[in-house]
Structure 1
Amino acid sequence: MGHVLVLNASYEPLNITHWRRAMVMLLKGKAEGLEHDSSRVIRPDLLLPTVIRLRQFVRVPYKPLPLTRRNLFQRDNHRCQYCASTTQPLSIDHIVPRSRGGADVWENVTTACLGCNVRKGNRTPREAGMPLLQEPHRPHSGLNFEASRQIRAGRHAEWAKYLIGAA
């Protein structure tokens, strides 16, 4: 059936859960349904939720999104940041090369197709005359990545209004 976006009492996105878990939270009175899939009826008086909000605020400690290959490719939308290719195999490129002291941080890495990565070589994009399509940045959260992916895939368009930078 699907996944459900879970919001804190403050409407801040917390996570994505399975519809069964969401139904349990609704039936126990721990959450309220904000958006529903009218084509899926559980009981005559109960629609399948797509977005729920917790009734009580849950304090969540900040945990930065780890810099991994998968997260980096998602941040850059699986696209070369030099030539915009989505069909070529991608690699990770350091904007300031590691041999020149460039660090493994969100602001210094980007995705590049193999051809662009080889052409850029051990130079900065400015030295190579290869401008970036977008400046690299630390993403907001992993939840926004996953939710944005589902929105782009044509599922859960109603989630976009609850997420930062989605769609």
Structure 2
Amino acid sequence: MHVDRFQTLVLNADFRPLSYFPLSLWGWQDAVKAVFLDRVNIIAEYEHEIHSPSIKMRLPSVISLREYVKMDRRPAFTRFNVFLRDGFTCQYCGDRYHAEWLTFDHVMPRSRGGRTTWENVVAACQSCNLVKSNRTPEECAMPVLRPARVPTAYELQKNGRRFPPNFLHESWNDYLYWDSELED
């Protein structure tokens, strides 16, 4: 495996991932730099080693930050976060789609004074967005399944756990919980 393919799972100081979707991963160069700057603790390592003239080290596969990063801030208003809030589901027909098949829909159309805010934007499939056009949900008999609202960072993290990435290294499994209940 080429060295550039080694990614490092980044955990907060409480040993929880900084984010689940996208999963908090750093490239091996950033992880090694953080180790040498004493900003992280190495929790697990790959078998693969890197070398310099004076140092040999195994690449970190899991690291934790030394200082806790507070996560209860208001999430950024981005297209991706709207899709994540809505579970990659069209808020008109209820079907789930990949992000590239979803659009941003203004519940109150911009042409009628609707603003681009958490409270007025939902995920919509392209078909529903075309049918709705510049009308309100009431005018076209397409009620919104869940009202548009500002999610918490915790809600986005929880929703992100429903969409595990394609690749999970075995050393990450003890730190990731993909909708599984832990035994008492």
Query: What interval of TM-score do these two structures reach, taking the shorter chain for normalisation?
Result: 0.5 to 0.7
- C-alpha distance in structure 1 between counterparts of 2:74 and 2:42, whole Å: 27
Measured against aligned partners, the alpha-carbon deviations of 1:57-106 in whole angstroms (never above 9, x if no partner) come to: 5679x575143x45444554554332215379433211122344322102
1:115 and 2:134 are equivalent in the alignment: no
Structure 2: unaligned runs, 5 residues or longer: 51-55, 179-184
Paired residue secondary structure (1:80)? coil
- Report how many aligned residue pairs link the two structures: 156
Q: TM-score, normalised by structure 1?
A: 0.61
Equivalence map 1:15-164=2 (5 Å):
16-26=25-35, 29-37=38-46, 40-42=47-49, 48-57=59-68, 64-67=75-78, 69-76=79-86, 78-83=88-93, 84=95, 86=97, 89-139=101-151, 140=153, 151-155=164-168, 158=173, 160-161=176-177
Measured against aligned partners, the alpha-carbon deviations of 1:107-144 in whole angstroms (never above 9, x if no partner) come to: 21122223212322344334533344444343529x95
The answer (yes or no) to whether the contact 1:151–1:160 under 8 Å persists in 2 is: no
Cα distance change, pair 97–17 in 1 and its aligned pair in 2 (3 A): same
The answer (yes or no) to whether the contact 1:9–1:54 under 8 Å persists in 2 is: yes
What amino acid sits opposite 1:30 in the alignment? Answer: R
Aligned residues with identical type, % of pairs: 35
Structure 1: unaligned runs, 5 residues or longer: 163-167
Greater share of strand:
1
Paired residue secondary structure (1:26)? helix
Greater RCO structure (CA 8 Å; 6+ sep): 2
Measured against aligned partners, the alpha-carbon deviations of 1:30-63 in whole angstroms (never above 9, x if no partner) come to: 32123555xx4338x9654333112245679x57
- 2:181: which partner in 1? none
Aligned-pair distance for 1:148? Answer: 5.9
Aligned-pair distance for 1:22? Answer: 1.5
